[in-house]
Structure formats: C-alpha cells, structure tokens
Amino acid sequence: MSTTQQSFNVSFIGNEPAPGDGNLFRAFAPARHENLADEFANVSPEQADQAVTKAAEAFPIYIKLMPAQRADFLDAIASELEALGDELIERAVLESGLPTGRISGERGRTTGQLRMFANLLREGSWVDARINPAMPDRQPLPRTDLRRMLVPIGPVVVFGASNFPLAFSVAGGDTASALAAGCPVVVKAHPSHPGTSSLVGQAIVVAAQKMGMPDGVFSLLHADNEVAQQLVAHPLVKAVGFTGSRAGGLALLRVAQGRPEPIPVYAEMSAVNPVVVLPGAISQDSGPNSATTVAAGLAASVILGVGQFCTNPGLVFLLDSPNTASFLETVAEKIKASSPATMLNAGICSAYQKGVQQNRIVPGVHVLAEADVDGESSQTQGRPIVLSTTAPIFLSSEFLSEEVFGPSSLIVVCATETELEECLRSLEGQLTATIYATPTELTHADIDWISLLQAKAGRVLFGGFPTGVEVSEAMTHGGPFPATSDSRSTSVGTGAILRFVRPVTFQSFPDELLPSALQDANPLDIWRNVDGKMMK
C-alpha cells in the first residue's frame, strides 16, 4: 500500500491508488478564500467503469463472507480512521471551514456508526429470517418448505455530501450501511473536500487489505458530473445513496429511472423543517414554557453550524398570542448579537445570499433581525438573518416555503388556527417537524396537529430543535418528497441498511444448501420468525 503522502491526492480503484486521467482541479480553503497547492485529477469514464467492474467482481465473494467478517471489516475501518490522527482533522477543517471541535465530533460520529453497524451484523436478526417448515400432511393441500430473508442487492454508488466531510461522505452512513448489507461501494468524492476524501479512502483500503476483503469491495473516485451520471447509469450498479441539493438529487433520479433496468436512488435533498409554536408553550414568564426560552433556543438552532444542517429550522409558524411580541423580540436580539461565519464554499455562500435576497424583497416580508457585520465580510461568510411575515403573505408566495441553505429562518405569524392549518397543509415533505405546545392544547384541539405533522415529516419532535440527529436504532432521517426520494427509508440509524437489501424466499432447499440464517440449527443464533413466533 502506498504511503499517505504518495496517495494523498489520488482516487482508488479497488485497492490500487489511481491517478485520474481526467481534468485537474485544486482543493479550496473557504476560511482563507484561496485554492490550496494540492492538485487533484478526476477519473476518466474508463476508470469509472473499471471501479464498477471491480465492485461487481467482488460482490459474489463479499456476499459469501460470514456476518462477523463484515463486522470486523467495519471495525477495522473505524480504527484506521482514528489512526489518521490530527492529519485527518486538520485537512477536513482546512477544506470545510468548520471548526476543529465540530470535525473531531464528526469523526467520532463516523467511527461510531461504523461500529454500530458492526454490532448489528453480529447480532444478526436484521436479516428478518422467516421460516415456514414443510407441512406434507396439511389438508386440503400440503405446504412446501419456505424460508425468507434479506440479501444484498449488489454494487452501490455513494455520493459524498458537502456539509459533512466525514459523517455523510466517504466512510459515512451510506457507505457503512451498504458495506454492512453486503454490497461493494464506489464513492464519488465531493469536490469541496478532496484531500479529506482521499485520506479516508486510503484508510478504508488499508482496512480492506488487512481484513482480507475482496479487491473492489471499495473504490473512491474523484469525478466530474458527467462521470458521476455515468456511474448511476452503469448496468452493474444496483442502487445510489446521495445527500445534497434537490437539483442534484433529481438529476441522478432521472438517470436511474431512464436506465433499461431502473434502480433506486436514495436521495436526501431539501427540507425547511417547520417549527410550530402554540400559545401555551410560551405562556409563562420564565422557564421552559416562556417566550424568551423558546425563542433563544430557536435562534441558537438557526445559527448552529452556520445553518448548514439539513435539519436547520428554516420555517417557524407562530400562532399569535399575547407573548408573540416577546418571542419576536428575543429572536431578534439573539440573531443581531450573532456574527457572520465561514460557509462550506463560495458556491454555497452565494446560493444562500441569493435565497435570502429573494425572500426579503417579497412585499409583506420584513427583516426581523440580521447579524452585524464588522468590517468587510468574506465571499464565503454567511450572515445570520431571520425574516417575518403573515400567513396570507406566506400562502400567496411561490417560494417562501423553499429551503434557504444557511443561517436563516422565516417566522410566519398566524392569526388563527385555521391559518396555521392551511400553512402546514401547503408544505412539501420534510425531514423533521417540531411542535411546541402543552399536552392539554394538543389533546383538546379541534385540529389533530400531530397527525398533520406526521404526514409531512419523517421525524416529529415535541419541543426541542431538530438540528441534533442521534445515530441510533430508532432514528429516522428521511421523509416525504422532496426531503428524500423515498419516504420509506432512513439514511441514519440501523434502519439505513434496509435500503440496500431485498427479500428472497428459498423453497424446498436441502438444509445444507440454505444460507446460515435459515438453517434448522440456526448456527448464527439469531432471532427468527418461525410460523409467526419469534424464537432462536
């Protein structure tokens, strides 16, 4: 294996470092607003084909490994990422503009989810084994032996995300869940953090070699948009994982659906994550149910990470009450006291500024507050801002409900419950929806607010703010379109593995030819559904 310095700026086609044959580009440091010295080369279409072909060749070998072997591989990846030490942290900070503490925490999240999937494999029940033994004497017709389980679908293409250079990128949740499922992975690195991607790619390759994984189980490609679409169109690719813009996700979805064999694209794309505040939640003068407490929490959530979370609360619906003015005053105070901060890249910052400008010039939309600028702001700095309007203005606009990716939010003051209900029903699908209310308000309401929000989002919060996404068994990070392209899936938590598997029933097989999970002796010692009863 090549050293870090030798393979720092290359792609990996299987286990081999591969200098790209395509166009050259440089990494960019948004905090410095300058290109870095390192030069990267995108792969050619021929190199992309080699990576997918290797993945397809690795698949029948990888699929036959015992779950514990795949689990050991995931653990080894986590260990190799940790072994990169400060080099990985420093490079990710340089390329993303995110602070060291954030990147260190993100590395912990990345290694944690790798180990979470390793534990899932060792426990084993996720394969959903179902067994109906033969009943030859059943009348009026005998029943043949039927055994069903989930199996991997084949090579998966994963697109790295801009806003999470570790946790949603090369070794992130899509890659971890696909490898856990038994699918080889080809990652298309995000151009905003190519050096970070190469370091992580090398760590995975080292882990694969140490654990004896088949060559091609993982590849990392620096690639332009044309080659990216070629990867999705490749006949040997069976699924795609994507986190990014709606335009990018829909472009990949069109390619996948236009293939002779359409394949699923699990795209996380766009969300404004509405927060609903009913009067009872801000009725007290102090404490958790006060206007100042809830408003301060909202402002902190809006500016967290320069607003560059897919769960950023970009839209707030406030049912008018005597404490509305206090709520708005506190939000304004907190936002005005905040500061502009570096965004992930100049393109994201420019799109943010355009989105804010588009909203603020709408008649009836007012600037509640924006952060003060001390000196000349950089082309990569996002200025926190909160706008306000009324329900009729919001409902008459074509774009006020659209995502503005950055530290901004729009507060819509609703005069009546009917206005609030109409606003919520007008929304597209969301990753999250939050409601602040008292239990009494919800149990005695004429409108079923919880059911309304449940229909719109994959995660519904009672209080709090959605910017923290726990990596756990119970988490859903997905939602109705356009939050994701498939509302039945999640990209966070152990349920993410289900995106890259399909059910197969084995009928009348000799026991010795069955997968281990379905054999009579249950050698994996997993929970199985046998004639409707869970047992080992």
Share of the chain above pLDDT 90, in %: 94
Do 279 and 347 fall into the same domain?
A: yes
**Least confident among 271-280, 334-343, 368-377:** 368-377
Any domain includes 335: yes
| Confidence bin at 377 (pLDDT 50/70/90) | low
| Segment (H or E) for 134 | none
Q: Are residues 15 and 120 in the same domain?
A: yes
Question: What is the C-alpha separation between 335 and 371, in angstroms, rounded?
Answer: 6
* Same domain? 227 vs 355: no
Torsion angle, CA of 176/178/180/183, rounded to 10 degrees?
Answer: -140
Query: Does 345 lie in the same domain as 234?
Result: no
Q: Is the pLDDT of residue 12 over 50?
A: yes
All residues at 6 or more sequence positions from 453 whose CB lies less than 8 Å from its CB, including other chains? 274, 276, 424, 433, 435, 460
Are residues 297 and 241 part of one domain? no
3-state helix, strand, coil in the chain (%, to 5): 40, 20, 40
Please state the domain count of the chain: 2
Active site residue 310: yes
Q: Is residue 374 predicted with pLDDT exceeding 90?
A: no
On whether residue 4 sits in a domain, the answer given is no
253 lies in the same domain as 279: no
Beta-bridged to residue 406, according to DSSP, are none
Q: Is there a single domain that holds both residue 284 and residue 263?
A: no
What is the token pair recorded at 49?
A: 């084909």
The predicted model gives 363-368 an average pLDDT of 97
> Where residue 378 falls among pLDDT bands split at 50, 70, 90?
confident
Integer Cα distance of 117 and 62 in angstroms: 16
State the average pLDDT for the chain.
95
**Are both 305 and 442 inside the same structural domain?**
yes
Which residues share a beta bridge with 317?
Answer: 276, 412
Res. 329: pLDDT tops 60: yes
CATH of residue 354's domain is: 3.40.309.10
pLDDT one-digit tens code per residue, 458-516: 999 999 999 989 999 999 999 999 999 999 999 999 999 999 999 999 999 999 999 99
Domain span including residue 155: 10-25+44-269+489-500
Q: Which helix (H) or strand (E) holds 174?
A: helix 173-181
Nearest to 276 by CA among 142, 172, 423: 423
Together in a domain, 237 and 284: no
pTM of the model: 0.95
What pLDDT, on a 0 to 100 scale, did the predictor assign at position 246?
A: 95
The DSSP line for 344-393 is: S-HHHHHHHHHHHHHHHTSTT-EEEEE----SPPPTTEEPPEEEEEEHHH
Do 434 and 376 share a structural domain? yes
What digits encode the pLDDT tens for the residues 389-407?
A: 999 999 999 899 999 999 9
Residue with tokens 């490898």: 179
Active-site residue, 226 included = no
Contact criterion met (CB below 8 Å) for 264 and 237: no
Q: Residue 519 falls within a domain, yes or no?
A: no
Tell me, what's the pLDDT at 5?
Answer: 42
* 8 band by pLDDT with thresholds 50, 70 and 90: low
- pLDDT tens for each residue of 193-247: 999 999 999 999 999 999 999 999 999 999 999 999 999 999 999 999 999 999 9
Give tens-digit pLDDT for 20-40.
999 999 999 999 989 998 899
318: part of which helix (H) or strand (E)?
A: strand 315-319
- Omega cis (within 30) before 142: no
User: 95, 106, 268, 370: which one is catalytic?
Assistant: 268
Ramachandran angles phi, psi of 155, nearest 5° = -60, 140
**Do 421 and 414 meet the contact criterion of CB atoms below 8 Å apart?**
no
What integer is the mean pLDDT of 53-59? 98
Predicted local distance difference test score (pLDDT) of residue 376: 60
> Which tens digits make up the pLDDT trace of 340-356?
999 999 999 999 999 99
Please say whether the beta carbons of 488 and 461 come within 8 A.
no
275 CB-near residues (< 8 Å, 6+ apart): 298, 313, 315, 316, 317, 433, 434, 435, 436, 465
Catalytic one of 80, 95, 183, 310: 310
Find, among 131, 116, 134, the residue nearest to 517 by Cα.
131
pLDDT tens for residues 115-160?
Answer: 999 999 999 999 999 999 999 999 999 999 999 999 999 999 999 9
Is 505 inside any structural domain? no
